[in-house]
Amino acid sequence: MDRTDMLHVMYDKKGPKVAAAFTKRNFEAYYCATKEEALEKALSLIPKEDVISWGGSVSINEIGLRPYVLEHGYKVINRDDAKTMPERMEIMRQALLCDTFLMSSNAAIEDGQLFNIDGNGNRVAALCYGPKQVIVILGMNKVMPNVHSAIDRARSVAAPINIQRFGVKTACATTGMCVDCISPDCACSHFVLTRFCKLTSRIKVILVGENLGY
C-alpha cells in the first residue's frame, strides 16, 4: 500500500467521525470519499433557482463545483466579471445576500469547528451571516486535532501559499513564514473560529477524503 492509499484509508476512518462532530454542533455535515462524490453531494444541496456566489477557494475548483455552476446555467454573482476594483468590491458586497455561498476553510478541528483567516473579510462575513446557506468544501488534509494547531496551519501554511498565489507583497511572500505583520496587504486581518452553527444546517460542511486546497 503506497502513501496515497494509506491516506485514503485513514481519511475514510476519520472522516465520518469528524462529520458526526460537526453535526453535534448544529452543522449539516457529510463525508465523501472522493472529489466526484463531493461534487455530486454539493450539487444536490443547491436548488436550481438559487443565486450562487463564492469566496476565494482552490478546493471548490478542484472538485469541479465552481466550473460546474458557471457552465450549467446557474444564476451567479461573480466578482471576476468586474472591470475595476471598486466594481469588484461592490460585487463582493452583493454576494453577502446570495442564496448559496461556496467556500472552503483554512482549517477545521476534529471536534467539529472551523477556523478561518481573511484579509478583506468578505469570506468570513458570508460564513457568519448573510447568505441563506453556506457550503464548505473541506479536504481532510485540513482537519487538525485542536484549535492551536488549526490556527498554526492557517497562519503558517494557508496564508503564505495564498499570498504567493495572489502575488501580494507581504513578509510571508518573501520568507514563506508568518511574521505577524501589519502590512497594508496583510491577508490575516480577521481570525474567525466558528464553533457552532446558530441556524440549524445553515452551514453545510462536506469533508472530502482527498487532499484539497492549501
Beta-bridge partners for 204: 28, 135
Whether 184 has a pLDDT exceeding 80, the answer reads no
Task: Of 121, 123, 129, give the one whose Cα is nearest residue 189.
Answer: 121
pLDDT (0 to 100) of residue 56: 84
Amino acid in position 168? V
Whether the predicted pLDDT of 118 surpasses 70: yes
β-pairing verdict for 107-109 and 113-118: antiparallel
Is 70 in contact with 119 (CB distance < 8 Å)? no
- DSSP characters over 130-194: SSSEEEEEEEGGGEESSHHHHHHHIIIIIHHHHHHHHT--SHHHHHSS------TT-S-SEEEEE
SS3 52: strand
Q: What percent of the chain has pLDDT over 90?
A: 70
Here the cell at position 26 is 448544529
pLDDT recorded at residue 157: 77
Give per-residue pLDDT as tens, 68-82.
Answer: 999 999 999 999 888
Beta strand 107-109 pairing with 51-54? unpaired
- pLDDT score, position 171: 61
Question: Could you tell me the domains of the chain?
Answer: 3-208 (3.40.50.10420)
Q: In 72-151, which ranges are E strands?
A: 75-76, 100-103, 107-109, 113-118, 133-139, 143-144
Task: Give residue-wise pLDDT tens across range 69-116.
Answer: 999 999 999 998 889 999 999 999 999 999 999 999 999 999 999 999
Would you give the end-to-end CA distance of the chain in angstroms? 25
